[in-house]
Amino acid sequence: MDLSKLEQSLGIVFKNKDLLQQALVHRSYLNENPSFSLPHNERLEFLGDAVLELAVTEYLYKTYPDRSEGELTSWRAALVNSQILAKIASELEIGDFLLLSKGESKDTGRGRQYILANAFEAVMGAVYLDRGYGASKDFVEKIVLKELPKILEEKLYRDPKSLFQEEAQEKFGATPTYEVLKEWGPDHAKQFLVGVYLDKELMGQGQGPSKQIAQQNAAEEALKRVESRK
């Protein structure tokens, strides 16, 4: 696969092209193509997640010396969540180069969002191995931290679960409860569907690779529903 267009989009020409290629291999692709020459991208994703978090943490620590640990933690979480990373991956057109199974390639919902976010983290890991931490930090500041002004201006660092709890207590005098409606998939790729309720009314549903993420997504849907009632 010719990855030169993706390298141009990333602003990085890789010395080891296999690292970039591996970052784009989803586990499902190998299930259908077991003889493929490279492993899937999950180890690179693991590494890239840590590099991304360190680069963002270092930037926030140095740039905002008067802010508390709690504030910086919220800002960092908003910058590296799956929604933002999937958006960035889409802008970089990473999805056009992903190697997926036929089934996964048809998914356009939240599952696709997580695949894109994970692929971005894997690319981050590939950048680190190929170019080192300095280049990785420059990449993060150029590609990821440009989202920070909007996050701060629109207070997107306040997570949906906390926001919905405040809204529910203020408007309805009730505290939301969360229930796992469904879970599926192997241990390494579990998915959860969670519902959020006010009393017995289902206010929103959310899916994710952990119960916590699914709860946040359910709260986000519930917030939109409450907003539409105003």
The CATH number of residue 191's host domain is 3.30.160.20
pTM of structure: 0.74
Please identify, among 128, 153, 178, the residue that sits at the C-terminal boundary of a domain: 153
Q: Is 45 labelled as part of a ligand binding site?
A: yes
Q: Is 71 labelled as part of a ligand binding site?
A: no
Whether residue 166 sits in one domain with residue 149: no
List pLDDT tens digits, range 148-168: 999 999 888 877 888 888 888
pLDDT for residue 50 is more than 90: yes
Q: Is 121 labelled as part of a ligand binding site?
A: yes
Q: How many separate domains does the chain show?
A: 2
Catalytic pick from 49, 104, 130, 220? Answer: 49
Whether residue 58 sits in one domain with residue 168: no
pLDDT for residue 75 is more than 70: yes
- Using a pLDDT cut of 70, give the percent of the chain over it: 98
Instruction: Report pLDDT for 137.
Output: 97
Whether residue 31 sits in one domain with residue 145: yes
CATH code assigned at 93: 1.10.1520.10
Residue, of 155 and 2, whose pLDDT is higher = 2
pLDDT (average), residues 3-23:
96
First to last CA, the chain: 50
Residue 121: active-site member: yes
Whether residue 173 sits in one domain with residue 146: no
Rounded Cα distance, 7 and 12, in Å? 5
List pLDDT tens digits, range 206-218: 998 889 889 989 9
Domain containing 221 equals: 160-229
Rounded Cα distance, 72 and 64, in Å? 8
Rounded Cα distance, 194 and 171, in Å? 22
Whether residue 167 sits in one domain with residue 110: no
Query: To 10 degrees, the CA torsion angle through 55, 44, 109, 54?
Result: -10
Please identify, among 132, 153, 174, the residue that sits at the C-terminal boundary of a domain: 153
Residue 49: active-site member: yes
